[in-house]
Structure 1
Amino acid sequence: MSSLVLRGVHDVVSYIDARPRISGRAGLIWWLALGGLFLDAFSNSALSAGLGPMTRDLHLSPTQIAILTSLASWVAIAFNPIGGWMADRWGRIPPLIFAKFLAFAGAGFAAFAPTFELVLVGRFFVGAAYGIDFAIAMAVLAEFTPARLKSRLNTWQGIWYTAVSSNLILAIAFYNLGVGDSIWRFAVGSAGVVALALFLAQIIFMVESPTWAARKGLLDRAAASMSKIYGQDFTPAPLADRTPILNMANRGAANIALIFRGTYLPRTILAATVQIGQSIQYFAVGWYLPIISLTLFGSDFVVATLGALVFNVFGIIGGFMSPRIGKILGLRRASAVGFGAVFVMLLILGFFYETLPIFLAFLVPSLFILFHSGGPGANGKSISTLSFRSELRAGANGVIGALGSTGAALGLLIFPLLKAELGLGPTFLILSAVPLAACIICSIIKWDPTRAPVSPDEETDAPQFRNDAAQVAVPTR
């Protein structure tokens, strides 16, 4: 078989973009990266289903609940940019694997913690893992996805709700085993099992991103990765024949300043708006669906959990539909429409939740989750990932992810406090301002990475790279 010579990053990207599908070792890597996002959702929602029993078991006050549920997101604020910096400097795979170790440690601390304070220690590690993993996993997905399939990045949202629903099903199973108010320990501990399985699988099967390596000038390493991933022989071109890397951002953490200037500024504003808006509305409402379900359907644990499960099934539907919705509408318009619909659902819940008939009590929160997951829920990460070139991508995801984690932390912190002080209806009405503002901003900014005339990726932003875009690596014998 002939060897394919790589002259530069454009050859790597051209080869990946020419692939008809994401299959073989590349497909396994793609799904293992998504598996990390499954773990992030599973770990983050592990307390959700068992929050009521946990409150009784540890005798938690509303303030303690707010601190405990929001802590992982506060920690992720710091570790989002740290993870992005690590990935842009040293590669995608080592910090991804390290994140699984942190998630495993955090699950163990929390599951066996005898006190509230030690549960907080466990949630600290979970937040660190979440912050590191999410920024990097999305970058990996982007760098293994052909350009024409880039809306498929939104698949992560369906994976998220699958993980949350799995937690709810496990909660019902543990409840039927008669574990009592310790049910939350089993939910948290099961996240440790998932973390350990992914830790081992990623060590064995993950391969460094050839796009990252080539963009860093490590063409030998890129060729080795390509050979391992695609089962063909790739070799780096001689130094004299290599395509120079133009406009390379090589200032480490100082690269972050680039995303707040020039053409990147509106992209950053849009991605940050979607990320913050969707985080607040989900973690202030969607994460607390088991608690909301108790209010709507009564105090029976199984009935309330089944209600929350129904809501999250709509999240699975919307999440797996989001790639198609994004392809039809574009990520920006899909976000604007989704935010607008969520605003309407929150108004209905705010004014009428006490008088809704049982059918609408199921339908309205279900539609909230459907519109959220089909639009802005998926698009914040995808817009961020697709809007920046390779050596900026993970770092930008880290910064914008930190802003999203701030929104998540605020949502998790604010909801129980507002609910305790004002009641559920006024809380919904106050929170409705968030999707309304996000809808307006998404309608004003016109940037959309799926509608750009030229790929926003750095691998095609230089004229000579665009002329070579249709060429795949040069074969030699």
Structure 2
Amino acid sequence: MSTTQTHVKQGELPEDTGAFAWLRALGPRGRRAFGGAFGGYALDSYDYFTLPLSMVAISAYFSLDNGQTGLLTTVTLVVSAVGGAVAGILADRIGRVKALMITVITYAVFTVLCGFAPNYETLMVFRALQGLGFGGEWAVGAILVAEYASAKHRGRTLGAVQSAWAAGWALAVIVYTLVFQFLDADTAWRVMFWTGALPALLVIYVRRNVSDAPEAAERRHASVGRGSFTTIFKKDLLRTTFFATLLSTGVQGGYYTLATWVPTYLKTERGLTVVGTGGYLTFLISGSFIGYLTGGYLTDRIGRKKNIALFAVLSAIGILVYTNIPSGANGLLLVLGFPLGFFMSAIFSGFGSFLSELYPTAVRGTGQGFTYNSGRAVGAFLPTLVGFLSDTWGVGGALVLGAAGYGLAVVALFGLPETRGRELL
């Protein structure tokens, strides 16, 4: 139920302070944009997780070692840097909504094609091309919503968009559990990729119902040099671009190490069945969803930098604890999956608002697309390194490399300003 302030000056409307004030403040157009961005990111997540969840089956089908399977994730994330940079430039030049539709169509088409791959090399090519759309969707969708959101509620609003990642992850786990229960593994992994056609339905909704924020669109059209890649490397923005990329590298290196290898860790070193793995991931994903919402609230309350620093430290500690639980203590593993998911997701809640506030309208898409996805590409080498080291360290031992990524993120924060409450210009 919504509550309002009791003392209001004559002629003024009472302030909306209810739990969903951030959503009501978007207005009808903003809420439709939120729906499009939320759906796009959820399905982006779904299409991404078709690979990690199917990695054991794919590895067996093509007779791959852990290094080769880790490379499938790395090429996706490395190419996503290109996709993110291109999508950001497109968002500044042709508009947020048009760029959003292009990214969704791209990742959907190439996810489906992965299911038809006749060999490892073809799968790698299709997965890399899927990264073009995967890399661009979040940045474009986040900017679209950020330009509708007020400075007061921007953190919570973008945190809610980020929570779509957990929703898509959960959907992927549900489909994975059903598909692998009823089909043999050699067929099931292909079916998982074929279900990646779902985003095509979202494109229809976005095309009919979503538009760019009018005021931001006017500023963008009036700007000289909009979508200029060189602008984000000029003197006044170079420091921001460098440290924002470093921040993204650390956070995403830690995150994707866990997202890629935890399902394999649970199966190969903990001996869990498909249903058992799904049960454990339920706790991890539930913590993730609540973490996104909580982090969004905190980033508005304590600031962007403090929120990121807090959860970077907690995520690093969580990894070390999670991967050193004694054999046979799978019940404890289950319980600790919730806080681990909470910590490693809450850190992302401030990213959408923070990166949007660091760049002016003319290059907001370019700056956010480049820094977020370049960081993801560099951080992507951690999953591959885990794959190669796991042959000697074990998957659980190698996963601790993710903690180093979060340490790098904390260091990067010293080079960036606090932006809480900043209006978008």
TM-score normalised to structure 2 length: 0.87
Paired AA for residue 230 in structure 2? A
From 70, 83, 87, the equivalent of 1:83 is 87
- Given the alignment of the two structures, is residue 368 of structure 1 paired with residue 336 of structure 2, yes or no? no
- Given the alignment of the two structures, is residue 183 of structure 1 paired with residue 153 of structure 2, yes or no? no
- Given the alignment of the two structures, is residue 289 of structure 1 paired with residue 262 of structure 2, yes or no? yes
| 1:410-431, Cα deviation, whole Å (9 max, x unpaired) | 1332221121232234323333
Match for residue 163 of structure 2?
158
- Given the alignment of the two structures, is residue 252 of structure 1 paired with residue 252 of structure 2, yes or no? no
| 1:97–1:203 CA contact under 8 A, matched in 2 | yes
CA distance in 2, matches of 1:215, 1:372: 35
| 1:48–1:288 CA contact under 8 A, matched in 2 | yes
Match for residue 457 of structure 1?
424
From 316, 325, 342, the equivalent of 1:353 is 325
* Identity, % of aligned positions: 17
Matches of residues 102-181 of structure 1 in structure 2 within 5 Å?
102-151=106-155, 152-181=157-186
* Cα separation, partners in 2 of 1:347 and 1:107, compared to 1, 3 Å: closer
- Given the alignment of the two structures, is residue 96 of structure 1 paired with residue 105 of structure 2, yes or no? no
Paired AA for residue 369 in structure 1? G
- Given the alignment of the two structures, is residue 24 of structure 1 paired with residue 28 of structure 2, yes or no? yes
Deviation at 1:339, TM superposition (A): 0.8
Q: How many residues align?
A: 404
Paired AA for residue 332 in structure 2? L
- Given the alignment of the two structures, is residue 387 of structure 1 paired with residue 358 of structure 2, yes or no? yes
CA distance in 1, matches of 2:378, 2:161: 19
CA distance in 2, matches of 1:162, 1:408: 23
Q: RMSD of the alignment, in Å?
A: 2.5
Paired AA for residue 159 in structure 1? A
SS of match in other structure, 2:204:
helix
| 1:274–1:335 CA contact under 8 A, matched in 2 | no
Match for residue 43 of structure 2?
39
Paired AA for residue 126 in structure 2? G
Match for residue 277 of structure 1?
250
* Cα separation, partners in 2 of 1:450 and 1:319, compared to 1, 3 Å: same
Paired AA for residue 169 in structure 2? V
Matches of residues 390-429 of structure 1 in structure 2 within 5 Å?
390-429=361-400
Matches of residues 330-341 of structure 1 in structure 2 within 5 Å?
330-341=303-314
CA distance in 2, matches of 1:381, 1:447: 15
Deviation at 1:298, TM superposition (A): 1.1
Deviation at 1:106, TM superposition (A): 0.4
Name stretches of at least 5 consecutive residues in structure 2 with no aligned partner.
Answer: 1-20
| 1:240-281, Cα deviation, whole Å (9 max, x unpaired) | xxxxx7xx55583322224xx34x455445533332111111
Deviation at 1:336, TM superposition (A): 0.4
| 1:136-180, Cα deviation, whole Å (9 max, x unpaired) | 111111111122211121123211011111101111111232343
Name stretches of at least 5 consecutive residues in structure 1 with no aligned partner.
Answer: 1-16, 219-244, 459-477
SS of match in other structure, 1:359:
helix
* Cα separation, partners in 2 of 1:205 and 1:254, compared to 1, 3 Å: same
CA distance in 2, matches of 1:251, 1:348: 44
| 1:111-156, Cα deviation, whole Å (9 max, x unpaired) | 1222222222321231011122222111111111122211121123
SS of match in other structure, 1:298:
coil
Paired AA for residue 256 in structure 1? I
* Cα separation, partners in 2 of 1:18 and 1:320, compared to 1, 3 Å: closer
